[in-house]
Each structure stands twice: as structure tokens, then as C-alpha cells.
Amino acid sequence: MAIFRGIRRAIYTGDLKHLKGRRAFVMADPNYPNQLLAQFDDISLTRRGPRSARDKSLGYGWHRFPEDVFTIEDPEEDDNG
């Protein structure tokens, strides 16, 4: 389970090539252990690659991912900043 509270900055390091290296805000998903909710900086990103009418933007709203596909950028900061 994620060992932080609040929202953090992170970089995607998972297997989806079009997301690798992309920055996002992440937070622990309180309903699913070992999952994060992510919102990417780039609104054109989707899970399947280049955006199509069927795909939802990963830049709007929160999207569930396994926590091991992100590297937290500020792991040493406390919850106050």
C-alpha cells in the first residue's frame, strides 16, 4: 500500500511506452491497496496511445494504476509540503 498521504508528483515508469517518462499527480487509492489514482499533465494521453474519440483523457479526472508503475518525485517530503 502507498506509504504517503495526499497528492504527490510522480513519473510513470511502467510498460506502456507512450506513458513512460510522463509526469502525473498521484494519490493512494483508499479503496484498493497497492493502487494509485493518477492524473497526467498531458491531456492528450490515453491508456491506448494517441487519442481517439473512444478514449478518455488521462489528464482529466483520476485513473487507477498499480502503484509500482510510478516513481514518486518527492518521497522525502512530509504531508505539509
pLDDT per residue as tens digits for the range 37-70:
999 999 989 988 766 667 889 999 999 999 999 9
Q: What is the pLDDT of residue 52?
A: 63
44 vs 12, which has greater pLDDT? 12
Contact (Cβ atoms closer than 8 angstroms) between residue 37 and residue 27: yes
* Torsion angle in degrees (nearest 10) through CA of 61, 77, 22, 69: -80
* pLDDT per residue as tens digits for the range 19-42: 999 999 999 998 998 999 999 999
Q: What is the pLDDT of residue 75?
A: 62
